[in-house]
Amino acid sequence: MSQYSAHINVKLPADILERVESYRTELERYMKQPVNRSAAVRMLIVSGLESEQKKPKG
C-alpha cells in the first residue's frame, strides 16, 4: 500500500451527495466540531472497506 496521499475527483449523483451531506451533519453533531465533506467521504469509504473485509469469503 502506498504511503502517499492522492487527490481524486468523484462525480456523484444528487441523491448520493444528499446522503453524504446528511452523514456529514450527523458527524458534526456527534463530534461537536465542524466536519467537511471530504472527511465524511473518507470515513464512509473506510467504513465500507472494513465492512467488506469482514464478510465471509466464498
pLDDT at residue number 1: 60
Q: What does pTM read for this prediction?
A: 0.82
pLDDT tens-place string over residues 30-54: 999 999 999 999 999 999 999 999 9
User: Rounded mean pLDDT of the chain?
Assistant: 93
Helix (H) or strand (E) holding 11: none
Going by pLDDT thresholds of 50, 70 and 90, the confidence category of residue 3 is: confident
| Start-to-end C-alpha separation, the chain | 24
